[in-house]
Amino acid sequence: MKEKFSGIWPAMFTPINNDGEPALDQVEKLVELFISQKLGGIYILGSTGQGLLFTEEQRKQVTRRVAGISKGRIPIIVQVGALTTAEAVRLARYAEQCGVDAISSVGPVYYSGNAAMALEHYKGIASSTQLPFFPYQLGENFIPGDTIQFVNQLLNIPHIAGMKLTTNQLLEISSIHNYAGEKLKLFSGSDELFCHASLCGTVGAIGSFYNIWGLQCKQVLMEFKNGNYALAQEFMLGFQKVICKILPNSWTFFRKAMLLKYQIDIGEAKAPLGNTQIEWEDEAVMNIFKEIESLAVH
């Protein structure tokens, strides 16, 4: 039987209409897309989903709609982290009422503080529901050497189920896995390293680029685990090349790519996010599609 929390999970874009509000019709199309692709699950309202840039009410709307469409056909994790613990708790409880599968939270934002502050923040959120909890690491000031001590304290948080990692330090991932084992299901957050991270004991990966190439990444990860080293090496090198091209203007790319490939309009990123990015020509986007296709066909 397949593990509920595993595999390739898009950190779902939150489509936005011209007024800066969630475009719920496009949200539906995205959810149906990922269900049809049989991806591992959907992670909503994280950094890619611009969760923190929406009002509390808008975040609840999106959560309700996603849960309402998916109806258990695909696992859903909702990122509920917010500037105050109080708002995060309200979002967590609302998500539970909507029937999602788990909640997640970024560390403290703005006042990024220390590990103790993050742990207390996480504890407040995790305790407020019965849902499995997948926190991030401890905010923005992570010091590698303190990882194990932090993880040890994390294991005492109610309903802790895993982590949504942001690090690209693979030894940090291995160290967490070596320490916590099955007690923490680890999702890697560096799209460009999803195969490498699986060697460190991750159960899956959550990221932006799986909105576009979820199918390809799912196939590569499966084949890599089944022994196709050559495919993994070739794909990851090509995927990394593409990611590096896209990153400086990622939000304009994402919008056009989703439109061209899936006819889904995710709208313009909410400023200041993407406020200096230049538009992509259709042809440039299509060329990148071809680059990826040339890697995954075997």
Q: Would you put residue 202 in left (φ > 0), alpha (ψ -120 to 50) or beta? A: beta
Interacting residues with a copy of itself between 82 and 121 (CB under 8 A): 83-86, 108-111, 113-114, 116-118, 120-121
Q: At its nearest, how many Å lie between a copy of itself and the CB of residue 99?
A: 27
User: Out of 97, 263, 275, 294, which residue is the one contacting a copy of itself (CB under 8 A)?
Assistant: 275
User: Out of 73, 130, 155, 273, which residue is the one contacting a copy of itself (CB under 8 A)?
Assistant: 273
Q: Between 151 and 180, how does the x/- string for binding to a copy of itself read (CB under 8 A)?
A: -----------------xxxx--xx-xx--
Interacting residues with a copy of itself between 122 and 151 (CB under 8 A): 124, 140
Residues in the chain, how many? 298
Interacting residues with a copy of itself between 217 and 246 (CB under 8 A): 224-229, 232-233, 236-237, 240-241, 244
Query: Which contacts of 112-119 are long-range, i.e. CB under 8 A and separated by 24 or more positions?
Result: 112/139, 112/140, 112/141, 113/139, 113/141, 114/138, 114/141, 115/139, 115/146, 115/149, 115/150, 115/153, 119/150, 119/153, 119/154, 119/157
Which residues in the chain belong to E strands, given as ranges? 7-10, 42-44, 76-79, 102-105, 133-135, 162-164, 185-188, 204-207
What does the block give as tokens for 59? 């975040």
State yes or no: residue 270 binds a copy of itself (CB under 8 A). Answer: yes
Q: Are 11 and 250 in contact (CB under 8 A)?
A: no
Residue (74 or 173) nearer to a copy of itself, CB = 173
Which residues contribute to the site for a copy of itself (CB under 8 A)?
A: 20, 47, 52-53, 83-86, 108-111, 113-114, 116-118, 120-121, 124, 140, 168-171, 174-175, 177-178, 190, 192-193, 195-196, 198-201, 224-229, 232-233, 236-237, 240-241, 244, 270-273, 275-276
